[in-house]
Amino acid sequence: MTDGKPLISPELLEIMQCPACAGPLSERPDPPALVCGACGRAYPVEDGIPIMLIDDAEAPDG
């Protein structure tokens, strides 16, 4: 079901940043989330809408 289709528009992804550390975000297809390249938090994407809340983010392992 992950056909290379972007979760959110690339333009939007480009201007968004991690609310915790302002790091760059990248898409993770399964389960859908935006992952911070700096701190490793993963923000879930529900119905194409990223939930950019630190409290709802998956903390990185370790």
- Residue ranges in contact with Zn ion by CB under 5 A: 18, 20-21, 23, 36, 38-39
Q: Please identify, using beta-carbon distances, which residue of 36 and 45 lies nearer to Zn ion.
A: 36
Contacts of 40 (CB under 8 A, 6+ apart): 59, 60, 61
For the CB of residue 35, give the shortest distance to Zn ion in the complex, in Å: 9
Sheet with 25-28: strands ordered across = 25-28, 33-36, 42-46, 49-50
The residue written with tokens 């056909």 in the block is 3
* Complex with Zn ion: residue 38 or 49, whichever CB lies closer: 38
Q: Which is nearer to Zn ion, 22 or 49 (CB)?
A: 22
